[in-house]
Structure 1
């Protein structure tokens, strides 16, 4: 007898196996009742012979008897193995759950013979420890009529030594020739027992408690049929290799998983989390409610989820099921996770963590509106698709990340549209088939470009910030003193006088100004010493509650301190920065139309910006000095426009009253710039060119030579230069813009103090006309025409 044994010896099962061919005997007896049946004679003859071996009908537990009665068993099962199909069908008699097969068809024997002597006939991706539970599920279906969809495809990978390949076969099992018999050792199974089992698919101890080992008898045998699915498997792998890097592929995933679970109302969600759990965001929006378990932003998973989910899903990456959401609530309470899932009208859910190759992990979320429709048993269906699912999710996230990065590059980084062409060329060369595999991306640099630098800075911003802090702290300390005075007048605790004394000393220490550490010290005093006392008084002394509530109404609920002056200052700076940046960005786009140039700006307390123009920046237009001259004239005009915007904002906020100062740095000698990959920005290249960067960093804090007067002053634009021909050029621009009412007649010619590593700088300072009759700008086209006239 050709027998394929299970790779696991002496496995424990809830059944004791009695190999029996009783149903074959019964089938033969049924034929013998009808003399008109064409198989009557052969069946009668076979039955007469087989009745001599009652053991084959009654059953036996000793598997060695398969060899002893080999001839009789082959005759008895011949009706299931017709000779005409022996070379075609891959079929064998089997012992289900024991995974032992015998009496193989001719083709089946040939496949096993060609697999090699070391081949073990074992199911792919199957945890043999689950065989115990699957046997229990079969018992539930057969004896208790409780049908749980636990079916999943079984595949065998069988090598073929002749072709040095591995073929894949799908197995189908038939247990029609067997029955289950309950023994006295088997306890009764109740509805409550079934609910417990549904929630504990992987807890083998519970299953063994409800279905003790050897407490049932499996009597009979089964049939196994294999089908060659090698081609389907290969096609599937090819498709997986070329999964589209498109987040829309997740649209189809929900439909496919519905089919897998046979649940038309199943919902699919995806959420993405930082592995360090410091923060996370769910940003795969394949439908309106892209996540079933979390809100758009959930900054603290340990507060949003219960400890059990945090431990299983986030810490140990285990698939987790909640078959009954209301039972979960009874145990864990109404946490944010429960509220979110309930809000999505779900009652059972499966969470599948997927480790990604980057710093994120994904959670696949399956939800059903029906209790126990999703459970720990049918969750095992996902096991076979998880590898493909991981690839799909990861590539979808990668596609989404690429989209985000392109938006960021377009709006926030220094890869300006005017220079993108060079980055694309470098990347195209890098991925070219002719490029050596060890090659690196080429450095991006531009030679002989003319720099322009300008800034519009808030004067005295540090002093204004400190003043706002001082006023907020003084206001709060004064109101705190007044509050404790009123409390002390009604309840004369000596400690209240001591608190008032400390507060008065603190107030006097900041009357003349505030030091760096004062804010932290006072905030600490309030939060640690004052607020706890007030909270206690509010709870225990009702007569003081209204006073304390009134006091607290002046405190920012998020920061827990008075924050009025500081917020007004921050709002002013934000409004100013945004207005200046928005204007300059829009205006700069027009300038790009006439000659492409590199532009970048930075928000500080105000803003500063760099521009580079030259032949190497563009690959589409020939360079001429007229373009740099026109850009300089445009820059000077724009500084005036920025000053007008800042003046209007200052008038709108009289309580702040911060003025700006403007500066332009002229550098008429071309230099080289290079993209710094580590800092993701352009910088000057070469030691000689570094002098320009040094001047930029130090010039705005410089003083006029032999004076204590700062170069930059409100109401004036300072233009720093090094060569006399630069002075002549800008005097022409100033004269033209003065006629357009941008400037007053006042012009100062200044020498700048020596800076560290830099000397000999000069400047002109010109007064801005804030009473310009018309605030209409001169168009860039008009400036170009004027530049040509001035140059001539």
Structure 2
């Protein structure tokens, strides 16, 4: 018996003890042995089957030794033959299997042929299914079967099986029939309640919790299952083509070519494309890299007439925008007197080809998709129909790309680029010069994308701690002052004019005052100011005319209001002045330090003022035009960053005495050791990381300052300490060396080694947190020299 055992069996824990048993089949046969089924066609065979199983009780009781599958091969085949009807053996892709381990032991003929065709070294493994996911899926199976709690976490299983005949990959989706299985709990299995069930629903990714509720091997599985495979190569390739078109990138054509090879089962299929403009003239000049085209032979230009293309192609492709198929290039060459197009195809070993025209824009641009094979009739008028679902996807992608291209062509460098950092300005000048030179001869010239590859990022921030709370407290104090002044005016007016309306208004103002003192909610300030303007100020106009004394009281109130905002703006102004002072001091200091740091090695730098200061730096060979990059410069810049962060902490501490509102900063450095690419985003007029892999870095940057220390509610960033976040231990070792150096200068104190709570989109982060030793008389001019930094790195 052919047995295929997945790696999952040996490498994955499960909450189930897996036992092969044919008990359910036995019960079915036993049913037909009853006298009431004496005339049933199954009666006689069922009696033989029952006798067979009684002779081999292991088949009924169950076993976990998979070698017994081979020992009882003949008996198992007899038992399972009814589930594998002979007329369907060459049609169905089916096997008997043990769930969650994918160990299979009886196959339909078609399944066996597929596996044989895959090669001797092929291993049948599930695609993209993590060990934890398999464990949790087994748990949900138990929840449903044993406890009646239904959880829909069904994910289709996929097998990628190579086709040895065509040299391409086939993709299969599976279904599983568990009718012939049973699950029972062992004495060690915890009894689950509805509360446990709800807790599990809220913690799908917490594998430790699932293993607590469902310990390994705490349930017994008896039986087997049936898996059926369905060929979904076309659907998979359509989905993959869509995903690749959306992702784009420099590897787009090779990826799409690989997709189409599997789609058509042609291992050496070729894919190319070209874009033509001015198609109504005699010259078709391509706008794209000639190496992407299969039909242009890397030429500069071609004549769009019968000297290159035949009249049929000119009419059908370039005028009617219809697909054109050449099933036999040699035969086509005979019909066209071996025109240049057919000669070029045969020179490139293309014997059948499909040309798919896609109108790119409304101005006449035409994209030509080229699908070719080295054999005649591999591509023909019949299998072109397989592309019907794919061509619309290509059309959308081509039109989108063309529109983006046209948008770039419509603007000059002044319209596309904002102020540029001096370290990378040379690259923009280079692109601008190339663009304007190309415009002399080609009206369709476009600006280069500005991308810097293989650069190392540095990120830091000095954030004002509790800024939101401080701002709200300032608003609260100002509103309290304003409402208290209003009550004072109304009280004095009531003494002069004993009108009940004054008491009623005082009650309403007092109610607002009580609410404000309790705390502010969204919209409270607007509602209070609206109330004062609508209800109080008209009364104040009346009070202002009663007497000189009351007029003075109203004037005192009005003079406390900000002339532009018409509100008391005292505490808020103190707070905002303090924030502005601190931001300006920190930003100016950082900018001055940056001018010195650029002398070490040119690097990109951008700074932002928020409630505090944050900045990005990127350093690498591609940033500079004339100097050679060495990792020494990266290490030097990291030490410079740590030293500068320490000095900014001291500056913020020193400026507390000059601020009307006492503010403190908390500093953070994010370490990322892997090189990445940054790209100038034309729409946002700024640099950003390029590529899906680097998005995680951006996610961490945005969320890390809100991170807590693992197992606590304590924030990582606190005043008086510098947090250094990292993910690789080698980074910690590097920074400990820098910290030790600054400790020797009596600038930094005790180090803490911390683990951080997982963030959404980022886990496994760690941090060093080091105490800042403040200088009483901090002097921004007394800092560590460049020579000191270099000596420390070289040491």
Shorter-chain TM-score bucket reads 0.3 to 0.5
TM-score (normalizing by structure 2)? 0.47
Q: Normalised by the size of structure 1, how large is the TM-score? A: 0.47
Structure ID, larger Rg: 1
